[in-house]
Structure formats: structure tokens, C-alpha cells
Amino acid sequence: MNIHTYEKIWLGAAMVLIVGFIATITYGAVGPGIAMVDDDGGDITPSEINDDERFAEPGVEHVGGNEYEVAVVAQAWSYSPDQIEVPSNSEVTFYVTSRDVTHSFSVVGTNVNTMVIPGQVSEMTVRFDDPGEYGILCNEYCGERHHTMEGLLTVVPEDEFDLTELDVEAPDEVEAGNETTINATVSDGMQTDLETTVTLEIGDQQYDEDVTIEGAGSESVEFAVDTDELGAGDHDWTVSVEDEEESDTLTVVDGNGGSDGGDGDA
Ligand code: CUA
């Protein structure tokens, strides 16, 4: 059989096109790490989100090394949490679900762009090498305020990142002459130990307490405050550790002149 030269050229060109198309699609599917959301993340009953271990308190969790997990709940018309902070040089796995209707979770400038379907958990893992800010958007029309549904993902420099939390218990009022205590509980959300200093400033007094907190643990620090030294009146205090801070006011009332009828033994 004799094939005309021109026909051979057209046949060859058609073959090149077909191979080219297949290569393009293959690269698109495998090369840039694009993946379809599948059922890896599992499913969840939307009405039970508040009882779910992962989603009851959504947020960032350190799972070890440079790996983090972020749980996000989408609902009309916000994300919880809507401000997410992760460190640079990290590998972050997002778990996102919806409380009500179908939303999306799209991190602008990355390849995170997934539908969020009630009843399903969308899971995807991304590497963040450099610090930066990324907007989070809903790309699925979800009601009248769909356009306001947004959040912010901040990748902070690795050495500035921590998951420290502070909780302070202090009395509002104390009678002069009595010693009082301000209790600070510091918890470390990282899996690694944290050596740090908890500071209490009250009036012109300052107390420092060094603590070592085990990974994923917490420690309580008790500050004994001498009210005689403070004197009667309102005293603003601040407890700080790492980037966390809590402030309030302690009122020292004069035991003798107090309107509450103190026993006057001062
Ligand atoms: Cu949620 Cu649009």
C-alpha cells in the first residue's frame, strides 16, 4: 500500500498532538501535586461537629517534627478559626468540614482549593517553606453573604512560632495586710519541651519565674503578692509569657476603712 507523503505528515502530526495532549493531562494530574478530594478525610455528622475530637475546638495542632494539623469548620458565612498561624518550613495537613451547606476552602496563591461538603472531611497536605500571608476564600456560592466569607493564613518565621497558651486566675479585690496569689497556668501546644519565663508586673513590682513545660503539657506558677507593699488602691497587673499576655486590676482595700466591715485587725 502506498501512502501519500502529505498524508504521512498529517498522520505524524496527529500522533504528536495526541501524545502531547495525554502528556499535558498526565502532568497536570501528577506533576504540580493536584489531587482530588477523596474520602481519606472520613465523614462526620454535621450535627455532631461540637462533640468531635478534632472539630470541637478547631485550630492548629503540632503533631511532631515540622508537621502540623489544622482543623477548620466552615459555616455560613465564616471559618472557624478565621485566623490561622503556622510556621515556615512546615508540612501542614488541613482537615475541613462544613456545619451547614457546601462551601469551599481556598488558600489563595497555593494549590489548596477544595469543596467543603457537609458530612465529609476534606483533607489536604501542603508544604509552607517561606513566611507569608495567604487569604482564605469561599469559592462555592453559599448564600447572601458568600462574598464576605474569608480568613487569613499567616506563615510566620519558624523561630517566632509557638503554641503557648496562658490562663490567669486572680482575685479582683483583697484586703490590705493579706498576702494574695495570682496563678498562671501555661500550656505548651508543641510536642517539644518549652523553657520559658513567666512574668508578673503589678504596680512597680516585678516577679519572674522560670519554668520548663513538657511537650503537650502545662505548668502552673503561683505568684505571692505582698499587699502591704502595694498599698491601698487599684493596681493594674500583667502576666506575660512568650507572646501571650493577660491583664486586669487588683484592688487592695484598707482593712480598717473598708465598707465591707473588715475585722480591723491590721
Ligand atoms: Cu461559603 Cu461561599
234: which 3 cell numbers? 487599684
Q: How far apart are CA 104 and CA 96, in angstroms?
A: 9
Over residues 79-96, mean pLDDT:
94
pLDDT of 209 reads: 92
40 C-alpha vs ligand 1 centroid, how far in Å?
Answer: 23
Ligand 1 atom at minimum distance from 76 CA: 1
Ligand 1 atom at minimum distance from 141 CA: 2
Specify the pTM.
Answer: 0.71
Query: Contact at 8 Å (CB) between 96 and 121?
Result: yes
Q: Angle at Cα 81 formed by Cα 240 and Cα 163, nearest 5°?
A: 35
pLDDT of 264 reads: 41
| 120 Cβ neighbours under 8 A, 6+ residues apart | 37, 39, 41, 42, 43, 44, 97
Domains of the chain: 34-160 (2.60.40.420), 164-253 (2.60.40.10)
pLDDT of 37 reads: 60
Which strands form 150-156's sheet, in the order they lie side by side? Answer: 83-87, 150-156, 132-137, 103-107, 113-116
Q: Which of 169, 158, 167 is nearest to 132 (CA)?
A: 158
pLDDT tens-digit profile of 167-217? 999 999 988 887 889 999 999 888 888 899 999 999 888 999 999 998 888
Q: How far apart are CA 201 and CA 199, in angstroms?
A: 7
Q: How far apart are CA 265 and CA 56, in angstroms?
A: 50
192 C-alpha vs ligand 1 centroid, how far in Å?
Answer: 37
- Within 6 A (CB) of ligand 1 lie 77, 103, 138, 140-142, 146, 149
Residue 88 has pLDDT above 90, yes or no: yes
Determine if the peptide bond prior to 10 is cis (ω within 30°). no
Residue 146 has pLDDT above 60, yes or no: yes
Q: What is the DSSP letter of 120?
A: B
pLDDT band at 226 (very low <50, low <70, confident <90, very high): confident
| 230 Cβ neighbours under 8 A, 6+ residues apart | 202, 203, 205, 250, 252
pLDDT of 111 reads: 82
pLDDT of 83 reads: 94
